Structure 1
Amino acid sequence: MSNSTPATIEDVARIAEVSIATVSRAIHTPEKVANSTRLKVSQAIAITGYTTNAMARSLRLGRSNMILVVAPDIGDPNFSNILVGLENEARAHGYGILIGHTQNDAQRGLEYLKFLNSNQAAGLILFTGILPFGHQTMTARLPPSVGVFEPVYNGGIPYVGVDDIAGARKAVDLLIAEGHRKIAFIGDSRTRLAYARRRQGYDAGLDAARVPQDMRIVLEGDGTIESGRLALEQLFMRDTLPTAFMCVNDQTAIGVMLGLTARGYDMPRDFSVTGFDDVPQASYMTPSLTTVRQPRTMIGKHAMALLLELLSDNQPAETEILLVPDLVVRNSVGPPGFKPGGKPAR
């Protein structure tokens, strides 16, 4: 848009490819507009920099009653249940939710930053693990913000999530109790703090069991099914196989399990596998996946409650709230079965 001409609601409607009436509904009564349409309108507002002081239902005393939720991947199995907790708590206090889907695209992040700086969102919930989006002048004017699911790297903003270290300890303690000593950790990361904390839980559990360093195997990963498969292939190529795989999340564990099945191995007879998150697919795997369950809806509820406290200009008692996860024991863990040089058990 031209710097000299203020953006209009017609500009927003044109870019979003919706009617002016739909733009108005998305602003004033967002609960009556489909999520996909709200997202298109919010993106168009961010692009144009459109602002108005007449958002009677969306602005209260000059401040919006909308909360922007920014996520890198709204298809993540964890997202929907956390969103339920966020939205229920927000609606109970007169706030609505707008969803910003960055798709890990820095330019999209910048558009949502423009949206925030146009005073159309009272607060920000971040799933991304990083502050948006690098533009220092605008970032300095962020509204009250809370990180959720992934701690914000070097962000210094409050965070609500699961106790990753405690959850990982539960998984590794189970494997040790079954008799495993050579346990591989799949999915280490230098940039994702949640994954790094799960690695800490892995190390703490092995330290407590006095497992020597030369029996520990750690491979990096990005939390995808493909990264689990690739890590497994690396171990086969190195001929340094563990008896158990402790995976940073369920997607990684599913990749490991698919790779083992393709090679003809049986779980848990040959290898044991654990995950983290308890996504819906975990219970449908063969065998069903032993994992650590995140209390996702409660994470969303607590995160929104913390943000609302910040919006009320109250100083919260805690700036990091970690909820206790549950170990869900299914059928992918058993005593050690694999022997070096061993073949698949048929």
Structure 2
Amino acid sequence: MMKMSDVARMANVSPATVSRVLRQPELVSEDTRVKVLKVVEELNYQPHMIARQFRTKETKTILVIVPDISRSFFSEVLRGIQHMAISNGYKVILGDSENELQREKEFIDLLLQKQADGVVLLTARMELSSLERIANQFPMVIACEYYDGSEVPTVSIDNISSSRKIMEHLIQHGHTRIAHITGPMDVILSRDRLKGYRQALMGHDIEVRPEFIQEGDFSIQSGYDQMVKLLSLQNPPTAVFVFNDEMALGAIKAVKKSGKKVPEDIAVVGFDNINIASFFDPEITTIDQPKYEIGKVAMNLLLKLMNGEKLERTKIVLPDELIVRESCGAKLEHLSNRQKEV
């Protein structure tokens, strides 16, 4: 295996110069950098990472823990994290907890074992006391979810106001019998979106009907199953706000299978604006989260923490956008009005 001394000999420089080129290239002249890097490429030299860790106490690796890698929502968030990490010389270790708290803790152990320099959590399941104890030892940022009362840096949208926004859209188009398929209620985002749903109804003096609130588990199948329950009610809703786009896909399938149409018989809206939402039939009205930007901003905060910088803000709330498509009926209504005018 090639050693740093081999690179130094062939480049006719000292091993210390080779080390500086690889670790602090800004301290070396351009001619020397070019010469050394050419030899590194020719020899396919790979620095010994374990030795480097002992010298620098850095792994140049960050850990990202995601609750469910099968959910397409997270792919763009992860891409934002990875692009920012790579551009700053870091590699990413991905841990899929599969919504299991014990597995999440096992991934956190990688920090304790000094196998990563910091962590971005895309989940908030751990006990707050345990989380803050770890955050006091290692750089940590939470993205998408958050903890009430925690000082751990967080990047998210305002899920309560965005839920009110999509509900207001349905109410403005004449719906008063609006149901909500929630996510699991042990997840703070599910509680926030339910809160926005309730606030919108109460703000218009519309009754909050317990039978119109059904709990799903994020999956397409649960969206289907909960919509079947809503359709079986004696007086079913005329519109349904679904926690995420994936469950909305299942909900729309249930409506179609029942012989009804979306949005003519029942409007369905989702949340997140995953890619398939604009290709499904009908196209899904949804709330667009800036997924890639959430990842980039979270990684940028983590970089600052790892560099010992003081953060100006620890709670960053990014803007969301209501995307109106066919599934809510608004576009069809607009077309109908235009036809009348003609």
TM-score band by shorter chain is 0.7 to 0.9
User: Deviation digits for residues 260-289 of structure 1, max 9, x if unmatched?
Assistant: 000111111100010001112212221111
Q: Which amino acid aligns with 1:179?
A: G
AA in 2 matched with 1:323: L
* More displaced stretch, 174-183 vs 223-232: 223-232
Q: Which has the higher helix share?
A: 2
Counterpart of 1:247 in structure 2 is 242
Q: Deviations over 1:169-206 (max 9, x none)?
A: 22111101111111111115431111211112212222
Between the aligned residues of both structures, percent identity stands at: 32
Change beyond 3 A, Cα 1:79–1:142: farther
Structure 2 counterpart SS, 1:305: helix
Match of 2:92 in 1: 97
Which of 139, 157, 170 in structure 1 is aligned with 2:152? 157
Corresponding position: 1:238 with 2:233 = yes
Question: How far apart are residue 318 of structure 1 and its match?
Answer: 2.2
Runs in 1 of length 4+ with deviation above 6 angstroms? 132-138
Q: Computing the radius of gyration over CA atoms, which structure comes out larger, 1 or 2?
A: 2
Does residue 281 (structure 1) correspond to residue 276 (structure 2)? The answer is yes
Supply the RMSD in Å over aligned alpha carbons.
2.9
Change in 2 beyond 3 A, CA 1:129/1:287: same
CA contact (8 A) 1:130 1:152 kept: no
Q: Per-residue deviation at 1:160?
A: 0.9
Q: 1:157: how far off?
A: 2.3
Deviation digits for residues 6-56 of structure 1 (CA, Å, limit 9, x no counterpart): xxxxxxxxxxxxxxxxxxxxxx9xxxxxxxxxxxxxxxxxxxxxxx98342
> Do 2:159 and 2:192's aligned partners in 1 also have CA atoms closer than 8 Å?
yes
Work out whether 1:256 is the aligned partner of 2:263: no
Cα displacement string for residues 234-264 of structure 1 (whole angstroms, at most 9, x for unaligned residues)? 2233324111000111111111101000011
> TM-score, normalised on structure 2?
0.75
| SS of corresponding position for 2:120 | strand
Name whichever of 104-113 and 243-252 sits farther off.
104-113
Structure 1: tracts of 5 or more residues without a match? 1-27, 29-51, 336-346
Unaligned runs of 5+ in 2: 1-21, 23-47, 331-342
Q: Distance in 1 between matches of 2:74 and 2:55?
A: 29
Query: CA, structure 1 residues 138+169, in 2 after alignment: closer, same or farther (shift >3 Å)?
Result: closer
Instruction: Report the equivalent of 1:327.
Output: 322
Length-normalised TM-score, structure 1: 0.74
Asked whether the equivalents of residues 132 and 152 of structure 2 are also in contact (C-alpha less than 8 Å), the reply is: no
Which AA in structure 2 matches 1:322? V
| Cα distance, 1:91–1:188 mapped onto 2, change above 3 Å | closer
1:219-230 alignment runs, 5 A limit? 219-230=214-225
Distance 1:91 1:303 in 2: 14
Q: CA deviation at 1:136?
A: 9.0
